[in-house]
Amino acid sequence: MSGKRLLGCLKKRDLLNSDRSNPAHFVQVGTAYLEEGRIPDAIEFFEKARHQEGLDRLLQRCLDDGDVFLFRKVAKALGVSPGPDQWIELGDRALSLGKLYFARTAYGEGGAPEKLAQVERLLSDPLRGKSHLQ
């Protein structure tokens, strides 16, 4: 189910909304989406399958990628509330990748005012932000 063989949007919607109870099928479809780099779709299928292992791996991947949006989505699918340490780790990674808006959000969620102020300074001075990323 890779590449062009992924489900179209209507078939994907219908499958996710079906009463089909074969978690292994949802894991298989989610894995195919993951292999294609389509993380949001993989999250949906792993959530439908209640595939804890897959969602745990995706949570770590979102941390590694510094992606606040997907981190929140996976945490919600897992039914967990990330703690301050996880948010700060996410903010640090996002900052190191130059994802300043994600870093700002993560530091705000993690209650790290000093780090948040640092990112705010970088965002307010585009030249300073660029030198940070080089």
pLDDT digits (tens, 9 = 90+) for 44-96: 999 999 999 999 999 999 999 999 999 999 999 999 999 999 999 999 999 99
Report the percentage of the chain scoring pLDDT > 70. Answer: 90
Nearest to 61 by CA among 80, 91, 39: 39
DSSP letter at 99?
A: -
Let me know: does 107 contact 87? Beta carbons within 8 Å: yes
DSSP, collapsed to helix, strand or coil, labels residue 106 as helix
Give every CB contact of residue 54 below 8 A, 6+ residues apart in sequence.
27, 30, 31, 34, 42, 46
pTM of the model: 0.84
Let me know: does 109 contact 87? Beta carbons within 8 Å: yes
**In which band, very low, low, confident or very high, does the pLDDT at 41 lie, cut at 50, 70 and 90?**
very high
- Whether 31 shows a pLDDT value over 60: the answer reads yes
Let me know: does 33 contact 41? Beta carbons within 8 Å: yes
Q: What is the maximum alpha-carbon separation in the chain? A: 54
**In which band, very low, low, confident or very high, does the pLDDT at 21 lie, cut at 50, 70 and 90?**
confident
